[in-house]
Structure 1
């Protein structure tokens, strides 16, 4: 196995080369850094968070005689809102600072011409002597900031993960004359192990992020805990909310594609954020609709659902005002709410599963959402749900109506909050 770091930083025996195995700890350690490398390799397995590992690494480097005063770790992640994260540690900090990085960072002055920019463009190392005349060095605000803090030397390297993924790690010191060759060699020895340790944490975080993004936080936790067998599941007593956008077919037929996507994203933001804030879980988006549950294990679940509906309706009013200013027609929608037992678990084919809820209670919520169009109401609640909240909320009794798929008429209430 070869590593994309300077050959002098790792000693590999001929036998290891023949066997194509990673170099052993005995061959990469030196008296000053052996304990750090041993700790990084063997004693971090129980630490879940990469920022904690990085902060502890920097403290151990100091104790090993490496005069690090500032260090950063920049990692790319797959997240719907952020390009990545920057972990920053400075002398005196017991915990590292974690900062999210937006997708538009590459167009900003803080990135253009920065060490991260150079590494991203393929540089194998960026080294800057901060003691020399600034006019003779690289020009970027990050170097001026480090000089102002008394730092004398700075080095940045790519951190290589599998399949060509490149991240970034940097170290700086205030030692007069900067890092010496022995310090650089010691830091380089750590990079392959730091790459492995960081990749494991990033992959773990990626799995969690993808599950949270596509199936929801609670379902994601269940899947990570091993609930992946087809047909496995549990019965949950929950309030069910189904929301659907009106006239979406006409909108999608007549509006430009990008406008339709922006409209849907704005609509789902308006609906989804109040649901999450009030303890609900969105299980899926279905075209222009969504399905959410509020488990009744929380005694306030039904009240929380209506609070979420109130906030969502206000958000939709604000969205329609903004759309009106750009000449777009207002968006109309319907919400059906019921309560009952649902089967919550894995359903699907042998190779493709959906973690969702099914059952008559879900069907009822869907039928109520459909009835909002017929009855001209935005939010319809079943009597079963209304019994949980009618003493605390102003509900309008609409009457009893037949519901497709159910034998008896259902007493309905409207909510105008």
Structure 2
């Protein structure tokens, strides 16, 4: 059997592997690692591979997956939006294929002399590379991604070896597209509904009316004076202020493993879930203190941001944060064709009422009595106060 016949047979086996075992890989990185190793077993002298995949994400333009023969696993590098405008991207094989519509390109590095057409060729030359090939990976949506392959063997790739890679690209693109769509779904759900709600949706928990009782620390914050700001600021400035405010509040919550449930105008509702089966109150105290630390961090960050806003001649921001601990109904609620994972119940009503008191009392952080019972040494009573919807006044607490 000739080498060419062997590689043709390897092509069929590789495609079968992609459609059977490859598509069950736990991640894109795991698929890349296994696929590159199979190419080497099939006789392809591969020492480096690079997959550049465009993503649908509010902050990430794409992800580059790097594989080397001398490294464990695959390195992932996220590329932020704006990368596509940078000279180092535009003047690269990836930019030429994705942005300029170039077809597959090959450079026999060992036969080239500087200056090189692309900087990557110089890098590969210094690493001992002899051959470089970049190919478009086209998804069914028309989105173009790029796969590049490098050899360090004298003479580089043979014609049949490149044919092998080229012929399996449609199968590889099909498997990759499925995995990317899954990752995109996770990204979009995490961004717009939160990690836990996104996981529930992907697991099939999507029927309207489903839900469960959940004990949680609740966080509710609101921006003071937002109506007057909205009336007098240009829209772009207003959106910029809101994004900065939510970045501080949401970042503080997420840094302490809380989950943002929703933004309501200039307000934000979040929870720190208390898992089922926890014995004793020790874990509750930990999460209560986490939430209080997050609130303190947010207030400090707001003070720093306000100094910047003053320096820029923009209005400063004041916010109130309310904290409570209690049972809520966490479920899938809404119209038949428009659902929302959210929390409802008396505890949610109470934390929103406490937030209203924070404005009246001019305290940046207020908590309920149930919350304060878990960290009494860090809080001081602000007295009894009536709240809408309750017959009896409630006692609230502020940071000592």
Q: Give the shorter-chain TM-score range.
A: over 0.9
Q: 1:202 aligns with which of 164, 180, 195?
A: 180
Alpha-carbon offset, residue 211 of structure 1: 1.0
Q: 1:93 aligns with which of 68, 71, 76?
A: 71
Mean CA deviation greater in 407-416 or 61-70: 407-416
* Distance across 2 between alignment mates of 1:397 and 1:137: 71
Counterpart in 2 of 1:320? 306
Q: Is the counterpart of residue 336 in structure 1 residue 322 in structure 2? A: yes
* Distance across 2 between alignment mates of 1:47 and 1:185: 25
Specify the SS of the correspondent of 1:357: strand
Q: Is the contact between residue 118 and residue 126 of structure 1 (CA under 8 Å) also seen in structure 2?
A: no
Alpha-carbon offset, residue 35 of structure 1: 3.0
* Distance across 1 between alignment mates of 2:47 and 2:258: 44
Counterpart in 1 of 2:214? 236
RMSD: 1.6
Q: Is the contact between residue 41 and residue 193 of structure 1 (CA under 8 Å) also seen in structure 2?
A: yes
1:82-108, Cα deviation, whole Å (9 max, x unpaired) = 111000111223411111111121222
Q: Is the contact between residue 154 and residue 173 of structure 1 (CA under 8 Å) also seen in structure 2?
A: yes
Q: 1:131 aligns with which of 71, 85, 110?
A: 110
Q: 1:398 aligns with which of 382, 388, 394?
A: 382
Alpha-carbon offset, residue 252 of structure 1: 2.2
* Distance across 2 between alignment mates of 1:133 and 1:347: 64
The count of corresponding residues between Structure 1 and Structure 2 is 386
Counterpart in 1 of 2:156? 178
Q: Is the contact between residue 279 and residue 301 of structure 1 (CA under 8 Å) also seen in structure 2?
A: no
Counterpart in 1 of 2:200? 222
Specify the SS of the correspondent of 2:26: coil
* Distance across 2 between alignment mates of 1:136 and 1:209: 41
Structure 1 gaps of 5+ residues are 1-28
1:184-215, Cα deviation, whole Å (9 max, x unpaired) = 10001110111011111111111111111111
Q: Is the contact between residue 299 and residue 364 of structure 2 (CA under 8 Å) also seen in structure 1?
A: no
Q: Is the contact between residue 296 and residue 302 of structure 1 (CA under 8 Å) also seen in structure 2?
A: no
Alpha-carbon offset, residue 290 of structure 1: 0.3
| TM-score normalised by structure 1 residue count | 0.89
Counterpart in 2 of 1:384? 370
Structure 2 gaps of 5+ residues are 1-6, 276-282
Q: Is the contact between residue 33 and residue 61 of structure 1 (CA under 8 Å) also seen in structure 2?
A: no
Q: Is the contact between residue 211 and residue 332 of structure 2 (CA under 8 Å) also seen in structure 1?
A: yes
| TM-score normalised by structure 2 residue count | 0.93
Q: Is the counterpart of residue 271 in structure 1 residue 255 in structure 2? A: no
* Distance across 2 between alignment mates of 1:312 and 1:144: 47
Q: Is the contact between residue 48 and residue 201 of structure 1 (CA under 8 Å) also seen in structure 2?
A: no
Alpha-carbon offset, residue 385 of structure 1: 1.3
Specify the SS of the correspondent of 2:23: coil
Alignment of 1:6-405 (within 5 A): 30-120=8-98, 121-135=100-114, 137-138=116-117, 140-297=118-275, 298-299=283-284, 300-391=286-377, 393=378, 395-405=379-389
* Distance across 1 between alignment mates of 2:399 and 2:181: 44
